[in-house]
Amino acid sequence: VRTDISTGDIARLVVEDRLWHRLSRLAEFGATADGGVNRQALSAEEIAARRQLVAWGTAIGLQPHTDRVANLFLTYRGRDADLSPVLIGSHIDSQPTGGKFDGAYGVLAALESVEAMIAGGHKPRRSITVVAWMNEEGSRFAPGMMGSAVYTGARARADILDICDHAGRSVREELDTVLRADADVPVVEKRQRPAAYLELHIEQGPILELESKVIGAVTGIQGKRTYRVHVTGEENHAGTSPRSVRRDALVAAIDIVKALQNALWDRDDITRFTVGQFTVTPNAPSVVPAKVVFSIDLRHPDADQLRPLGDAVPEICANAAGRCAVAVTQVLYDPPLEFPPAIRQKIGRTADRLDIPWMNIPSGAGHDARHLHRICPTGMIFIPCKDGISHNEAESILRSHATAGASVLAEVAFELANAV
């Protein structure tokens, strides 16, 4: 057993073919016809993918466990297993038209990192636990980052159990199904804070590619406020009801979205405003829409901008609703955050030591690292994705970049787990 701090010898034990094979294999769970994945949180596809992860982990001696919100953990026991572990991972749930790498890459590269340590007989002082967080994406059950939020105490388990998907299935029901499918995986509630958390992820933006860098040492995550807007009108006959008496929820919702777009437009294109979900009821061609429910995803890197922009949303909606009623509920308010420089600098030094071009980079996308950052020293590592495309079936990465990311993750994770 070697206990010295690795000087790149773990990186050399990362096996590109094994990592790439697993990325391709995991992408089969929920594979879509256009080359992406639809592996939604707590779905049958995700259950199958979990089983595959557990099989890969146990095959190399990792100890699997889960918790009561179906976060999945695979632990490589350290020399001093009583010490708090270093967690490394991401998520395996996807958007409905997701890519093969968002989340899954971070989990599989974490598994590869640990396998490289084991192959070289490198046993760190602290245990290293590979983690797949439940429902990061929040597309089936909103809000996202549910598993890491409950794990870190940002949300109470009781608060998420009755959240339902479009089909009316609740988190409670689906959690039961997942935990029954994993009946052979012990359910263990968190005993202690992690010593540190590292998340490797694709950038989901174009900067690394444009700057010809392979590794991003992530400085922080921009702020995000999400809302659900209910516009209520009155269904009526499309052929007989005069415009003068209509209360058309769709027309009102369009006016509201246009008013929001105008109010949130900024010259330097920093603000991110998205209406991604938009449902019309009864959604019948000859019925004046009675109800529209739509989502708002508002992001900004500056807390002093995000606050007033978000605070103005309810009034903008009310002023543009015409004769319809409108109700605006804020679903979450995550302020911008900055990761501790110490871990970020370790990432940069490791990339230098491995002779991999790197840069500091902010994250426009949200990640479970947001929640871990509140309870332990946390860092994120990015690799490029082609044209910065993500949340899209065309999402793709280079094999060499996948390996580079796993190499940096393995070295930094080992160093953190060996720190005295």
| Smallest distance from ligand HGY to CB 40, Å | 12
| Smallest distance from ligand HGY to CB 210, Å | 20
| Smallest distance from ligand HGY to CB 388, Å | 13
| Residue 103 contacts which entry, ligand HGY, Mn ion, none (Cβ below 5-8 A, type-dependent) | Mn ion
Q: Which residue is nearest to ligand HGY (CB)?
A: 366
Handedness of CA 45, 47, 50, 51 (dihedral sign): negative
| Near Mn ion in 74-133, by CB under 5 A | 102-103
Distances in Å between the Cα of 58 and the Cα atoms of 16, 21, 86, 204, 369 are 20, 17, 18, 31, 25
Q: Quick one: 336 or 366, whose CB is closer to ligand HGY?
A: 366
198: which strand partners?
88, 379
Q: Mark residue 89 as left, alpha or beta (left: phi above 0; alpha: psi -120 to 50; beta: remaining).
A: left
| Residue 395 contacts which entry, ligand HGY, Mn ion, none (Cβ below 5-8 A, type-dependent) | none
Q: Quick one: 136 or 415, whose CB is closer to ligand HGY?
A: 136
Q: Quick one: 102 or 415, whose CB is closer to Mn ion?
A: 102
Q: Quick one: 37 or 410, whose CB is closer to Mn ion?
A: 37
Task: For residue 312, give both structure tokens.
Answer: 């103005």
| Residue 233 contacts which entry, Mn ion, ligand HGY, none (Cβ below 5-8 A, type-dependent) | none
| Smallest distance from ligand HGY to CB 282, Å | 30
Contact indicator for 128, 85 with CB cutoff of 8 Å? yes
| Smallest distance from ligand HGY to CB 399, Å | 23
> Using CB under 6 A as the criterion, which residues of the chain lie in contact with ligand HGY when the complex forms?
136-137, 144, 365-366
Q: Quick one: 56 or 133, whose CB is closer to ligand HGY?
A: 133
Which x/- pattern over 183-222 shows residues binding Mn ion (rule: CB under 5 A)?
----------------------------------------
| Smallest distance from Mn ion to CB 107, Å | 10
By three-state DSSP, how is residue 289 classified? coil
Question: Strands, E, within 117-175: which ranges?
Answer: 128-133
How far is 100 from 401, CA to CA, in rounded Å?
15
Task: For residue 174, give both structure tokens.
Answer: 């689906």
Distances in Å between the Cα of 11 and the Cα atoms of 16, 119, 283, 356 are 11, 11, 55, 12
Asked if 182 touches Mn ion (CB under 5 A), the answer is no
DSSP assignment of 74-127: EEE--TTTTSPPEEEEEE----TTB-SSTTHHHHHHHHHHHHHHHHTTB--SS-
| Residue 144 contacts which entry, Mn ion, ligand HGY, none (Cβ below 5-8 A, type-dependent) | ligand HGY
Please report, to the nearest 10 degrees, the dihedral formed by the alpha carbons of residues 21, 27, 29, 32 taken in order.
-140
Number of residues lying near Mn ion (CB under 5 A): 2
Q: Quick one: 120 or 364, whose CB is closer to ligand HGY?
A: 364
| Smallest distance from Mn ion to CB 29, Å | 16
At residue 160, φ and ψ (nearest 5 deg) are -105, -15
Q: Quick one: 137 or 199, whose CB is closer to ligand HGY?
A: 137
| Residue 223 contacts which entry, Mn ion, ligand HGY, none (Cβ below 5-8 A, type-dependent) | none
Instruction: List alpha helices for 269-322, DSSP H.
Output: 303-311, 313-319
| Contacts with Mn ion, residue ranges (CB under 5 A) | 102-103
